[in-house]
Amino acid sequence: MRSQQLQCRIVSASFFLGVLAAVALASNGGATSEIGYEIAKPDGYALWKESGASSLYNVTVDGYGSSAPLLVVLRGSRYQANYDYGKMLGAAAMTNLDLLLEHLLPKALERDAFELFLQWQFDEFLSKQIPQPYKDEIDGFAAGAAASGVLSESQVRRRLQQSLVIASFPGDFKDNLEWLLIDELKDGLHKLPAGLSLDTLRGIAKKWRSTMQCSFYAIWGSRTKDKELYACRNLDWVARSGLATYKLVTVYHIDGTTPHATFGFAGMIGALAGMSAKGVTVHEAGNDNKKETFDGFVWVLRLRDIMEHASTTAEAEEMWRATNNTMGMNHMVSSGIDNAAGNPPALVFETMAGYSAYFRANDPRERSTLVQNVSTGLPLPDAVWRTNHGYDPHLLQTAFDHPVPGTNSEERYMLIAEQIRAFENSQALVGDEEAVALAALPADKGGPVSGFHKCERSNFHDAASVLSVVFRPQASRVWVAWESGEGDSWTPACCGTYVELDLTKWFSA
């Protein structure tokens, strides 16, 4: 099926639209903006490789050319399923991760120092609270990749371990690094490895993009068609890095756990975004804080753990309370089972080291947050969302970013809020197309804040949208967009093609 250009029109009375809004309001009483992405259904899935009980498919879909996404279905024990994963996709994973490191640090000496830092962080800190089943997965992947002729087991294992550390720095790397090292070196029990200095690390940190950002939402009940639950996750991160060379949907059928899917890139073994066969979705957005640690459960695996074992937000919260945080982040879990039962179906966690605050829809803590004598929260019934700041009073005491009016994170938070209110004011119920539009809206397209409303190639040079995912969990459906292209043809995820996937058959045994 050929993709169709959607004329996605977002109608809002928000003053955050600036000059664009003023012109539109003057002409017709409402600010209208055309975003400009596409939605496409796959034409088919072509079997490419098999290993054990697992299978790898090429997804045939318009909008991605020769870099169309792959879909891998993994079956078996932790070790065996990931052995098959490594055997089929080990080369792709190493290519993605090598390109990412080369993009971040073109100089070999700096890369060597950075890899030394990453491995130290994993060995001394982050590895300590990773449950053994996930370590078995890493071992399986490394063995499978080595069996296919990709490096040695130890080399592949180290690269995967280092990728978990990279994923654990979702926001401002420079400031996060400083506060992380303050936590790790304060008691004298740990020291930098030989050959690595603070000056070297600070020099590396200066080269890391500082404007990485994310967003997510959930919307349901009175605001949606048939009271369906929709949820979204935007990853605005390091663009044009090469990480999207091999785009990947991974469907896990691990013995004794709930089947679940993750959406991202070969080499990232956890859940940047995901949904389970029971309709549990998981989400993340950085919320940098001075209270940082790697003495916790690495978040991309923690979210997979929730999908494997939880059916409801209450179960997810219980699991969350039983494990430890790392960096300051916002997370969300939503549940189709909760929504079907008439229970609140979405729960936000605002986190930092040693502390989590829990939010549901229309929480008064959001409305009562005042910055510069202005209320900077706009909670609503039947919806919850976050960008890159929080609203819990205790967390805000040590947060890097506060919801200051006019800042990027606050503008994107209000952009989502005002669009939800615009749907309400026009009595428009959110369905599939509206849910995708609401996801694409706050994703980073480059340019000024007015640029959020339309994809303009002239702004793409500083865009950062690399992954955008919309979930309809009760129907096991997702819409996934990845960054695509190179050079002047590069397109941010939210301005490209959202691939519509029905995961029902992939979740079946």
pLDDT tens digits along 390-439: 999 999 999 987 888 888 999 999 999 999 999 999 999 999 999 999 99
Cα angle 189-396-380, degrees, rounded to a multiple of 5: 135
489-to-37, 64, 97, 461 alpha-carbon distances in Å: 15, 11, 22, 11
pLDDT exceeds cutoff 90 at 189: no
Q: Are 27 and 10 in contact (CB under 8 A)?
A: no
Cα end-to-end span (Å), the chain: 27
Cα angle 397-205-184, degrees, rounded to a multiple of 5: 55
Per-residue burial over 18-39, b = 16 or more CB atoms within 10 Å of its CB, e = otherwise: bebbeebeeeeeebbbebbbbb
Residue owning tokens 């080291």: 353
pLDDT exceeds cutoff 60 at 1: no
Residue 172 confidence (pLDDT) = 79
The CA dihedral of 103, 109, 115, 117, to the nearest 10 degrees, is -120
d(CA 361, CA 215): 16
Q: What is the pLDDT of residues 436-456, one digit of tens each?
A: 999 999 999 998 766 798 999
374 pLDDT tier (thresholds 50, 70, 90): confident
Which residues neighbour 421 within 8 Å (Cβ) at sequence distance 6 or greater?
12, 13, 378, 380
What is the greatest pairwise CA distance in the chain?
A: 66
pLDDT exceeds cutoff 50 at 27: no
285 bridge partner residues: 330
Q: Are 205 and 174 in contact (CB under 8 A)?
A: yes
pLDDT exceeds cutoff 60 at 16: no
Question: Closest Cα partner for 366 from 384, 353, 388?
Answer: 384
Residue 170 confidence (pLDDT) = 75
34 pLDDT tier (thresholds 50, 70, 90): low
Residue 210 confidence (pLDDT) = 57
Q: What is the pLDDT of residues 275-305, one digit of tens each?
A: 999 999 999 999 999 999 999 999 999 999 9
Mean pLDDT, the chain, integer: 91
Q: Of 21-25, 176-180, 505-509, which range is least confident?
A: 21-25
| Cα Rg of the chain, angstroms | 22
Q: What is the pLDDT of residues 237-257, one digit of tens each?
A: 999 999 999 999 999 999 999
Helices 153-167 & 108-124 angle (0-180, nearest 10): 80
Residue owning tokens 């309709």: 279
Q: What is the pLDDT of residues 79-133, one digit of tens each?
A: 999 999 999 999 999 999 999 999 999 999 999 999 999 999 999 999 999 999 9
d(CA 95, CA 413): 35
495-to-50, 155, 265, 402, 491 alpha-carbon distances in Å: 33, 36, 18, 29, 6
pLDDT exceeds cutoff 90 at 509: no
Cα angle 287-271-396, degrees, rounded to a multiple of 5: 10
d(CA 426, CA 70): 39
Q: Are 447 and 455 in contact (CB under 8 A)?
A: no
Residue 450 confidence (pLDDT) = 65
